[in-house]
Amino acid sequence: MTNAIEASGLVKTYAGKVKALDGLSVTVESGSVFALLGPNGAGKSTTVKILTTLSKPDAGQASVAGLDVLRQPERVRRAVGCVAQKSGVDIQATGRENLMLQGHLYGMRGKELEQRVSGLLERFGLTDSARRIARTYSGGMQRKLDVAMGLVHKPQVLFLDEPTTGLDPESRADMWGEIARLTAEEGLTILLTTHYLEEADKLARRLSIVDEGRVVAEGSPDELKGELKGDAVHVELASGEAGRAIEALAPLADVRDVTLEDGRLLHLHADNGAQAVPVILQALEAGGVNVASVTVARPSLDDVYLKYTGRSFEKAEATAAEVNR
């Protein structure tokens, strides 16, 4: 299978000191949904900007649809569609006018454009609202119009940068369904950036977990979760007794990948979590460690992120939010 996107060793530094990308590499198969998964500030949007020719890397190389993003930027722009985090919809124009203008920007005219616009309005359930000013659209409707605008010129590759941020659960589910249909029915290649674990797990054939401008893990969701054999066990300690807790668990042969977070959260894996919990609690009690709660679950992408970065996805998101204040 051919690759629609190939990027190698991308480096990007802002303001001379903020390294947004630190040697990031990614390969995306044609006709698939590929997700860049990471917290805000991980480098996802910077990657999209480089691949869509909106920014130049300090080092590295990349191609999209077989075109070099540095040497053939104009051809790349015609081969891709891009839906940015911030809506590109003109809220003072109607839905149809937004799509028509987008087509004009790509040199489309006449019957071809009219048919394309009508088809997209129908596909995204916007036909009845086509003559309404977009300012009156709901958030979900505006986001659908955004995606439709990115598809007007029939791109080979579509970039969706955090496409469901801010949407309600129903609108998010609708968007997921449309993304899945675009690849299944039209063979479109989609690179999706997201900080929603469930979104990447549900939609992506393959994904890269990005942390601090680097890819720390790559594979299909099932492959990555499969690396964490057994069940994930999460133990909340009643007080700061982390050192004694780790020491108490060390002799247990069935317990592995013990990770400490915030001084009182233990994350670990066991072949059979339900059977392992009593043994874990007994070992902690014998070590003089008080436990507040224990939960058992099948491994998730959050557990994968934890394995490769040493912190939970929720913690990384909170840290990024604090930095960006």
Whether 242 has a pLDDT exceeding 80, the answer reads no
Q: Is 11 helix (H, G, I), strand (E, B) or coil?
A: strand
pLDDT score, position 228: 85
Q: Which residue type occupies 23?
A: G
pLDDT per residue over 91-121, tens digit each? 999 999 999 999 999 999 999 999 999 999 9
pLDDT per residue over 245-300, tens digit each? 889 999 998 898 888 888 888 999 998 899 999 999 999 999 989 999 999 998 88
pTM of the model: 0.86
In the numeric block, which tokens belong to residue 59?
Answer: 């080092």
- As a whole number, mean pLDDT of residues 299-313 equals 88
pLDDT score, position 191: 98
- Is residue 94 within 8 A of residue 134, CB to CB? The reply is yes
Give CA 81 to chain center in angstroms. 17
Domain with residues 3-223, CATH architecture: 3-Layer(aba) Sandwich (3.40)
pLDDT score, position 65: 97
Q: How many CB atoms neighbour CB 53 within 10 A?
A: 20
Residue 56 to residue 77: CA distance in whole angstroms: 14
Whether 1 has a pLDDT exceeding 60, the answer reads no
Report CA-CA distances (Å) from 130 to 82, 111, 122, 125, 147. 21, 17, 9, 10, 15
pLDDT per residue over 206-223, tens digit each? 999 999 999 999 999 999
Average pLDDT, the chain: 92
Q: What are the structural domain ranges in the chain?
A: 3-223, 229-298
Whether 89 has a pLDDT exceeding 90, the answer reads yes
pLDDT score, position 213: 95
Whether 321 has a pLDDT exceeding 90, the answer reads no
Whether 38 has a pLDDT exceeding 70, the answer reads yes
Q: With pLDDT > 90 as the criterion, what percentage of the chain qualifies? A: 73
Residue 200 to residue 202: CA distance in whole angstroms: 6
CATH tag for 229-298 (out of 3.30.70.100, 3.40.30.10, 3.90.180.10, 3.30.300.30): 3.30.70.100
Whether 166 has a pLDDT exceeding 90, the answer reads no
Residue 260 to residue 321: CA distance in whole angstroms: 22
Q: How many CB atoms neighbour CB 177 within 10 A?
A: 11
**Is 143 exposed, middle or buried (CB count within 10 Å of its CB: 0-12, 13-18, 19+)?**
buried
Between 96 and 324, the higher pLDDT residue: 96
